[in-house]
Structure 1
């Protein structure tokens, strides 16, 4: 009986050991699964969650309305200042730059996007500042970040833009006629003459229009002609992320992070007319190198 009982006991121990051995992997799988979840990489700082919920849309709407109302207030105040300065065209340009610094910074603060600015040691040069253009935010940034004494250049139809267009003309900024090549070249020569005579800087979008998807468009020749005639250095300003923050044709602002990077000035003293194509290609390639993959030209 004792022998039968001992045999039964040993058989039970072997059965228990067998069951434990077969079930052990299942017991260990759970901690492994949990561990994989715990070491999952965290989202990077420049990644944002695009929330399409009604609360996010409402907040965006409030931000845009607040921007519009705030811009109306500052525009009205500076319109009065500029009217008082009608006899002094250069002072109107400088006052409009102060308007841009105040209004541009205020609008970006209201919109609330995370913003990083690099290369500020190149931000106070007397130069031709160029910017890639993919969003209405680019204009706010341009207004805020260009130095006092900078004149803007835009197509002559800007006068029909509500509020901003009228103030642009009143501020004595420059407009060009792009209806045909002859008129455009004549306008560029006049712009260069005024910039040199009044010791001004210049700001321009070299693409000539806004990109629909954020990818860099081909550059037009205008800024090269201005550099050849004024001999001012060119300071590229690279805008990253604005096409995600405020997309073309959209009334929705998203919390995408934005970076503005000033690149070192490009000297134009030894530039010649016969190499215009090379200069455009070199500056365009410089932008492509400093943009993320999603914004580089295909």
Structure 2
């Protein structure tokens, strides 16, 4: 009964909140720009963060959303966030982060969702499948040079079995090329909230844990620094998730 009630409540809330944001976002974007003087991409990132943050509050009657190690003073910025990927809702849970000015690296398909795509373009999210390597690195550098951070899901897709998949190297090359730290994020519980390939949400406890920052200088003595950093970060996330 609680499962049915959760879905009867959560999906209408999510749809209603999405429609509300779509209708009012761009007027609010421009108002916020006038008040703060921020550039449009930073404003869009802040509103997307707020969208996810509010949705997590909707979840509270059916599950606890908890963050650990994500106090603002523990997160150096700009940085590269690296998170494991379990569910469609992982992106919403980035509302737990103590900063709002971050661009997310996504694959091509979300840009085909008409109700999300304009906001992702406004926020200058990075399409990992349509940009060549030079364009991709240049756009990452532009975000970082203007004080923003980058968020990667280095597995490239949601886990099929809850275990960590192969990590791709893009996040680690960006961190090294721009001399910014990586902040690993260990996510658990979102695969129970919405398992891959299913539409029915289930009550779950979700935890987003921020781990100790990892600095490029720690790996400069290695033969291939980005590979050594990739291995270290993957092991750190795996160890954090094993504690759950």
- TM (norm. structure 2) is 0.85
1:137 aligned residue (44, 68, 89): 89
Post-superposition offset of 1:96: 1.9
Equivalent-residue separation in structure 2 for 1:175 and 1:220 (angstroms): 15
Matched, 1:120 2:67: no
Q: Secondary structure at the match of 1:129?
A: strand
**1:177-205: CA deviations, max 9, x gaps?**
35xxxx54223322232123312111111
- Name the residue aligned to 1:107: 55
Matched, 1:258 2:177: no
> Any conservation in 1 of the 2:175–2:216 contact (CA below 8 Å)?
yes
**1:74-124: CA deviations, max 9, x gaps?**
2322233446799xx962222123212321121112123212211023246
RMSD: 2.7
Where in structure 1 are there 5+ consecutive unaligned residues? 1-53
- Name the residue aligned to 2:216: 268
1:291 aligned residue (234, 241, 244): 241
- TM (norm. structure 1) is 0.71
Matched, 1:80 2:30: no
> Any conservation in 1 of the 2:46–2:101 contact (CA below 8 Å)?
no
Q: Which has the higher contact order (CA 8 A, sep 6+)?
A: 2
Where in structure 2 are there 5+ consecutive unaligned residues? none
Q: Secondary structure at the match of 2:136?
A: helix
1:280 aligned residue (203, 218, 230): 230
Q: Secondary structure at the match of 1:116?
A: strand
> Any conservation in 1 of the 2:86–2:158 contact (CA below 8 Å)?
yes
Larger radius of gyration: 1
**1:18-56: CA deviations, max 9, x gaps?**
xxxxxxxxxxxxxxxxxxxxxxxxxxxxxxxxxxxx552
**1:202-233: CA deviations, max 9, x gaps?**
11111111112221111001101111111110
Q: Secondary structure at the match of 1:266?
A: coil
Aligned residues: 237
